[in-house]
């Protein structure tokens, strides 16, 4: 556990749940996996299994108080293990390109299916006008586009660094993005907070309002993030000129 304190990612840009809850939850899981001799890939696979089970429970189970808690716990455990695999990889020095690909593969699965599960749940168990079903569809589209934009931006930055190591322009420092206030401000875009929100799935009206507010907020966040990403890539183009 003490060594894992030095195996943490930067807190820059991290939302409150991921920063203050998920990473601390992932630490004892990573320590346990280390003691048991697990590899980061095994932890990633377990994380993916917990997440898929949580998503399936949303779509297939009638949302009662116990099934809502079950869905939230499975999703939160899957997310904590998603943090643990990276911590374990940094602790053991056993990180790999294949492991990073697998981690992103499961990230893409949950980004594209969790909102489809909400769509199925609302269609099967909620008494709603059909128009409301557009909310999880829009939220799912936003989540998928955000994930692609984030990964593509990171990929292009890495590619530029390899191609032009002497010209590489790193992202601005933006120290304010590491503050606790920023972490709290961006919590609506936090996947971990979304996982936690499924505790309210049994309360149809309450969950409907919260989920719709999160969807609307994430649309705004995507628009702002897309602008930042585009400007950062343009800076790389100007550095080449």
Q: Are 78 and 113 in contact (CB under 8 A)?
A: no
Q: How far is CA 165 from CA 160, 170, 234, in A?
A: 8, 11, 17
pLDDT, tens only, 96-110: 889 889 999 999 999
**pLDDT for position 169:** 55
Task: Count CB atoms within 10 A of the CB of residue 82.
Answer: 26
On the question of pLDDT at 189 being above 80, the answer is: yes
Residues near 72 by Cβ (< 8 Å), separated by ≥ 6? 54, 195, 196, 197, 198, 199, 201
Lowest mean pLDDT of 46-55, 103-112, 178-187, 209-218, name the range.
Answer: 178-187
On the question of pLDDT at 146 being above 60, the answer is: yes
In the chain, domain spans: 8-240
**pLDDT for position 161:** 86
On the question of pLDDT at 6 being above 90, the answer is: no
Mean pLDDT of 50-78: 97
Residues near 44 by Cβ (< 8 Å), separated by ≥ 6? 81, 82, 85, 99, 102, 103, 106
On the question of pLDDT at 173 being above 60, the answer is: no
Q: Which residue has the tokens 């949950």?
A: 110
Mean pLDDT of 9-17: 70
On the question of pLDDT at 30 being above 70, the answer is: yes
pLDDT-derived band at 60, boundaries 50, 70, 90 = very high
On the question of pLDDT at 143 being above 70, the answer is: yes
On the question of pLDDT at 178 being above 80, the answer is: no
- The gap between the terminal CA atoms of the chain, to the nearest Å, is 47
On the question of pLDDT at 172 being above 80, the answer is: no
**pLDDT for position 171:** 53
User: d(Cα 90, Cα 30) in Å, to the nearest integer?
Assistant: 10
* Pairwise pLDDT comparison (241 vs 185), residue with the higher score: 185
Average pLDDT taken over every residue of the chain: 89
On the question of pLDDT at 162 being above 70, the answer is: yes
Q: Are 78 and 48 in contact (CB under 8 A)?
A: yes
User: d(Cα 209, Cα 212) in Å, to the nearest integer?
Assistant: 5
**pLDDT for position 124:** 96
pTM above 0.75, yes or no: yes
Mean pLDDT of 173-195: 76
User: d(Cα 223, Cα 157) in Å, to the nearest integer?
Assistant: 20
pLDDT, tens only, 193-237: 999 999 999 999 999 999 999 999 999 999 999 999 999 899 888
User: d(Cα 82, Cα 26) in Å, to the nearest integer?
Assistant: 8
Task: Write out 89-152 in H/E/C secondary structure.
Answer: HHHHCCCCHHHHHHHHHHHHHHHHHHHHHHHHHHHHHCCCCHHHHHHHHHHHHHHHHHHHHHHH
Burial class (CB in 10 A: 0-12, 13-18, 19+), 224: exposed
In this structure, whether the domain defined by 8-240 belongs to CATH 1.20.120.1760 is answered with yes
User: d(Cα 214, Cα 206) in Å, to the nearest integer?
Assistant: 12
Transcribe 176-208 into DSSP letters.
GGGSHHHHHHTGGG-HHHHHHHGGGTTSHHHHH
User: d(Cα 52, Cα 184) in Å, to the nearest integer?
Assistant: 27
Mean pLDDT of 10-16: 69
């Amino acid at each position: 556990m003490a060594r894992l304190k030095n195996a943490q990612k930067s807190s820059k840009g991290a939302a409150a749940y991921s920063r203050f809850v998920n990473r601390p939850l992932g630490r004892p899981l990573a320590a346990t996996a280390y003691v048991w001799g697990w590899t980061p890939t095994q932890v990633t696979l377990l994380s993916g299994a917990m997440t898929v089970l949580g998503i399936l429970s949303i779509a297939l189970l009638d949302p009662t108080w116990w099934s809502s808690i079950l869905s939230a716990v499975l999703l939160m455990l899957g997310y904590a293990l998603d943090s643990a695999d990276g911590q374990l990889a940094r602790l053991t020095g056993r990180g790999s390109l294949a492991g990073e690909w697998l981690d992103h593969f499961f990230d893409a699965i949950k980004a594209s299916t969790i909102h489809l599960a909400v769509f199925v749940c609302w269609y099967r168990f909620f008494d709603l006008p059909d128009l409301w079903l557009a909310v999880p569809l829009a939220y799912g589209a936003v989540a998928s586009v955000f994930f692609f934009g984030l990964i593509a931006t990171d990929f292009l930055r890495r590619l530029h660094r390899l191609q032009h190591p002497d010209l590489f322009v790193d992202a601005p420092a933006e120290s304010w993005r590491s503050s606790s206030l920023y972490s709290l401000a961006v919590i609506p875009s936090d996947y971990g907070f979304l996982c936690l929100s499924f505790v309210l799935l049994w309360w149809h009206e309450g969950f409907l309002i919260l989920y719709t507010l999160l969807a609307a907020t994430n649309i705004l966040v995507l628009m702002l993030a897309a602008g930042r990403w585009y400007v950062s890539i343009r800076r790389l183009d100007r550095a080449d000129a």
